[in-house]
A = this chain, B = another copy of it.
Amino acid sequence: MNEFDLIERFFAPLAGPEGLRLKDDTALYSPQTGYDLLLTTDSFVEGVHFPKGMYGADVAERLLRTNLSDIAVKGGAPLGYQLSVSMPSEKMELWIPAFAKGLATTQAEYDFTLWGGDTTGTDGPAVFSVTMVGQVETDRMVRREGASIGDDVWVSGDLGNAMLGCALVTNQVISPAPRGENLFLFETAYWRPEPVFAYRAVLRQFASAAADVSDGILADASHISKLCDGCAVLNFDALPFSLGGESWAEAQKDPIQARQSLASFGDDYGIVFTASPVSRQAIFDAARNAKLKLTLIGSMQKGQGAVCLDVDGQEMAWPQKGYSHL
């Protein structure tokens, strides 16, 4: 099956009208008035961003969902994406059908389409790159830049399931072994992180700045603090670990260090954001009304970077501030 047959059979059915049936090599999009466009690119290298030999549908879902997360954190909605696939030609015929199935599932769930891309052979590890295009009402993008000294620092959802999921997926021994029901939960957290579209209204109403939780909570918070010449000061005891993460950490020789690992792993794809303390009660109320989990984890203070304080208010030694992709 050559490049054109593969595109015709597996990718063309995923294309929206902007993709011109993938018969052209350029997509055509007529912007709606009243909206800005958001563009974000995330690339996955086999063996670096996901383990070798994984099922195509899982890889596809994780690839799209991490890109969707970037759009969600900006307060936007997805429109479509350009997809670059580089993998050994001889593997494509076997692997691409499931990959395309994962793309289709995610597209249907979040209502966006494939616009175009490129498919190339390589004798190295597979590399997938997505450029996702989204839109947000004009001048309403929630940026990384915009926090003020004194702002509260919030995080959505839980931390920790993605690390345990990654351990399971890569056949690492987790001790104590999570119960059966949790296995699926953890693997799902790893393969199918939930983009935070549900938090969109809260974000847009209250957030002064936001980033997704992908590199580790300190690293992600410092993406924000760097842009306001501040230091994100987080309270370790306030960090919202997942039930599974908490019970795993509690059983470790050094539970505190275990929790640090969970928090540093990233990949949970929640949102860390800042907001004025004036809005604190309103944010709690909005979260309760919308049944969203939001936790106040610290504040933006003078200084730089991000630190975590222990229960005595002392800065904790932190083994690894986050994941650098190099």
Contacts and interface: CB of A to CB of B under 8 A. Distances in A.
A227 interface: yes
Oligomer copy total: 2
A144 B23 CA distance: 8
A289 interface: no
Contacts of A4: 324
A2 B41 contact: no
Interface string A90-128: 001000000000000000000000011111111111010
Given A41-B116, A129-B118, A131-B131, A70 B25 contact: yes
A281 interface: no
Given A24-B144, A71-B26, A45 B122 contact: yes
A194 interface: no
Contacts of A37: 28-31, 37
A275 interface: no
Interface string A47-64: 111000000000000000
Interface string A76-87: 000000111010
A28 B141 contact: yes
Nearest to A27: B39
Nearest to A219: B4
Given A23-B227, A138-B30, A92 B41 contact: no
B3 A326 contact: yes
Contact of A26 (B70, B82, B117): B70
Given A127-B122, A145-B20, A38 B27 contact: yes
A26 B48 contact: no
A124 B121 contact: no
Contacts of A121: 45, 48, 325-326
B43 A86 contact: yes
A89 B326 contact: yes
Interface of A: 2-4, 6, 18, 20, 23-31, 33, 35-45, 47-49, 70-71, 73-74, 82-84, 86, 89, 92, 115-125, 127, 129, 131, 133, 138, 141, 143-145, 211-212, 226-227, 324-326
